[in-house]
C-alpha cells in the first residue's frame, strides 16, 4: 500500500507513483489510443476458438449420424447416395475451413506489422502527435518502448492462442485422416512457434519502417512488401535450417519413403561418394545402363525431412525471426536516439 499518497488540500502537485501490478502511464495511454485495434486482437482468438470448435462439432455430428445410417463410402448402395454425398460434402467443407484458417493465420503477421508501421508509429510522426507525448515527462525512448510493449503483449497472447487452436484443429484432422501434410505452408505456418515468431518479427520491422519513413501509407505498403520478401526468403531456405536425412539405395530397388516426410532432393552417388544430379543419367534414355557404368554410379540418394523434423525446423526458424526482431528493435531505438537525443 506504499503507492497511496497522503490526501492533501493544498494545490501542491499530486506526486503519486503508479500503483504496482498495474499498467504505467505511457502504456496506459497507448492502450487508450489504440483500444479498438487491441480489442480486435483480443477478440480474434475467441472467435477462432468458437468457430473452429463449432465446425468440428458439427462435422463430427454429421459423421456420427452417417455411421448410424449403416451406409458406407466404399461399398455404397443406390439408396445411400444422398447420405454419402452429404457426409463427404461435410468432410470436404471441414478441409476448406482448415485451409482458410491456416491461410488467415499466415497472413496475420502482415496485419500486425502494417498496423504498427502505420497507425501506431508513422501516423504519430506524420501528424506531429508524438510531440504531445514527448512534451510530457516521457522520453522518446520511453515512448517507443511503450508503443512496442503494448502490441507485443497483446500479439504474443493472441497469436499463441490462435496457433494452439490451429494445432488442435489440425491434430483432429490428422486423426480423422483428412488433414493436410505438416510441411504445407498453411499448416506449418499456422501452428507451433513460427506464427509467434513471424508476428513479433513483423511488429519490430513495422516499427523500424514507420520510424524511418515517417509516412503512414508508405510505411504500411513497405511493411506489407517486406513481409512478402521475408516469407519468400524463408520458403527458399527452410529445408536447410536443419540437417536433412539421406537414404541411399540401389538403382532399381524399391525405396520406401518414410511416411509424412518431405522430399528435398534426389540424385546419384558415384562409387567415390560424389553426388551427381539426377539428370546426369535419365532412366528413359536408351544408354541409361551404360551411362551409369561410365560415370561409376553406384547408388541413388534421396534427401528428406521426416515428420519428426517439424519441431527442430520450427524452432530454428522462430529463433532467426526473433533475432531479426531484436535487431530491428535495436536499430529503431538507435534511429530515434540519433535524431532526437
Partner 1 sequence: MTGAAIEATGLGMKYRGRSRGWALRDCSFRLPAGRVCALVGPNGAGKSTLLALTAGFLRPSEGAVRVLGTTPGQARARVAFVAQDKPLYPQLTVATTLWAGAELNPATWDQDTAERIAGELPRDAAVRDLSGGQRTRLALALALGKRPELLLLDEPMADLDPLARHQLMGALMAEAAEHATTIVMSSHLLTELEGVCDYLLLVDGGRVRLGGETEDILAAHTLLTGPVRDTAPHTVVESRAAGRLQTALVRRQGPVDTAVWEATEPSLEELLLAHLRSPEAPALLTPSASAVEEVAAA
Task: Kindly write down the DSSP assignment for every residue of 148-173, as one continuous string.
Answer: HHHHHHHHHHHHHHHHHHHHHHHHHH
d(CA 234, CA 188): 12
- Contact by Cβ (8 Å): 147, 120: yes
Does residue number 21 form part of the binding site for partner 1 (CB under 8 A)?
A: no
Task: Give the up-direction half-sphere exposure of residue 217: CA atoms within 13 A in the CB hemisphere.
Answer: 0
340 contributes a contact to partner 1 by CB under 8 A: yes
Element (H, E) at 227: helix 216-237
Q: C-beta of 213: minimal distance to partner 1 in Å?
A: 12
Nearer Cβ to partner 1 (26/206): 26
If one counts every other C-beta atom within 10 angstroms of the C-beta of residue 177, the result is 7
The residue from 72, 85, 127, 248 that contacts partner 1 (CB under 8 A) is 127
Neighbours of 184 (CB within 10 A): 14
Binding window for partner 1 (CB under 8 A); candidates: 22-30, 70-78, 182-190, 227-235: 22-30
DSSP state of 293: H
> Measured from the CB atom, is 18 or 233 closer to partner 1?
18
Tell me which DSSP letter residue 73 carries: S
The single residue among 4, 9, 11, 175 that binds partner 1, judged by CB under 8 A, is: 11
C-beta of 17 vs 73, nearer to partner 1: 17
Compute the least distance from the CB of residue 36 to partner 1, in Å. 9
20 touching partner 1, by CB under 8 A: no
For the chain, the farthest-separated pair of C-alpha atoms sits apart, in whole angstroms, at 103
Residue of 21, 70, 128, 286 that binds partner 1 (CB under 8 A):
128
Distance between CA 45 and CA 89 in Å, rounded?
Answer: 27
**How many positions of this chain bind partner 1 (CB under 8 A)?**
30
What character string, x for contact with partner 1 (CB under 8 A) and - otherwise, covers 27-66? -xx--xx---------------------------------
Q: Is the Cα torsion angle 18, 19, 23, 28 positive or negative in sign?
A: negative
Q: Which of 8, 77, 136, 248 binds partner 1 (CB under 8 A)?
A: 136
**Contact positions with partner 1 (CB under 8 A) in 161-200:** none
Q: Which stretch binds partner 1 (CB under 8 A): 46-54, 60-68, 125-133, 158-166?
A: 125-133
Residues between 138 and 157 with contacts to partner 1, criterion CB under 8 A:
138-139
Q: Which residue has the cell 480474434?
A: 44
| Span near partner 1 by CB under 8 A; candidates 9-17, 175-183, 284-292, 297-305 | 9-17
Residue 220 to residue 216: CA distance in whole angstroms: 6
Q: How far apart are CA 36 and CA 154, in angstroms?
A: 12
Minimum gap (Å) between residue 18 Cβ and partner 1: 6
What are the beta bridge partners of residue 204?
none
**Contact positions toward partner 1, by CB under 8 A?**
11, 13-18, 25-26, 28-29, 32-33, 127-139, 338-341
Amino acid at each position: 500500500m506504499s503507492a497511496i499518497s497522503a490526501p492533501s488540500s493544498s494545490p501542491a502537485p499530486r506526486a503519486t507513483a503508479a500503483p504496482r501490478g498495474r499498467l504505467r502511464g505511457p502504456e496506459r495511454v497507448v492502450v487508450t489510443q489504440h483500444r479498438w485495434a487491441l480489442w480486435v486482437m483480443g477478440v480474434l482468438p475467441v472467435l477462432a476458438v468458437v468457430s473452429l470448435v463449432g465446425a468440428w462439432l458439427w462435422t463430427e455430428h454429421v459423421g456420427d449420424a452417417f455411421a448410424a445410417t449403416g451406409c458406407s463410402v466404399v461399398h455404397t448402395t443406390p439408396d445411400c447416395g444422398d447420405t454419402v454425398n452429404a457426409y463427404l460434402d461435410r468432410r470436404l467443407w471441414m478441409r476448406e475451413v482448415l485451409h482458410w484458417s491456416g491461410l488467415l493465420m499466415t497472413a496475420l503477421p502482415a496485419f500486425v506489422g502494417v498496423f504498427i508501421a502505420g497507425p501506431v508509429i508513422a501516423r504519430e510522426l506524420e501528424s506531429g502527435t508524438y510531440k504531445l507525448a514527448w512534451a510530457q515527462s516521457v522520453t522518446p525512448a520511453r515512448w517507443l518502448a511503450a508503443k512496442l510493449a503494448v502490441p507485443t503483449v497483446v500479439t504474443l497472447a493472441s497469436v499463441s492462442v490462435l496457433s494452439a487452436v490451429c494445432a488442435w484443429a489440425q491434430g483432429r484432422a490428422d486423426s480423422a485422416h483428412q488433414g493436410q501434410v505438416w510441411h504445407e505452408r498453411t499448416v506449418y505456418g499456422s501452428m507451433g512457434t513460427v506464427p509467434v515468431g513471424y508476428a513479433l518479427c513483423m511488429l519490430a520491422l513495422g516499427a523500424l519502417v514507420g520510424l524511418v519513413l515517417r509516412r503512414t501509407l508508405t510505411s504500411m505498403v513497405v511493411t506489407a512488401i517486406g513481409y512478402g520478401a521475408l516469407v519468400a526468403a524463408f520458403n527458399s531456405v527452410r529445408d536447410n535450417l536443419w540437417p536433412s536425412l539421406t537414404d541411399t539405395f540401389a538403382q532399381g530397388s524399391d525405396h520406401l519413403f518414410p511416411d509424412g516426410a518431405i522430399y528435398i532432393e534426389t540424385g546419384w552417388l558415384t562409387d567415390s561418394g560424389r553426388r551427381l544430379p539426377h539428370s546426369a543419367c535419365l532412366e528413359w534414355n536408351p544408354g541409361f545402363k551404360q551411362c551409369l557404368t561410365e560415370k561409376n554410379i553406384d547408388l541413388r540418394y534421396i534427401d528428406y525431412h521426416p515428420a519428426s523434423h517439424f519441431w527442430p525446423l520450427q524452432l530454428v526458424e522462430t529463433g532467426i525471426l526473433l533475432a531479426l526482431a531484436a535487431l530491428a528493435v535495436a536499430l529503431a531505438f538507435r534511429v530515434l536516439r540519433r535524431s532526437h537525443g
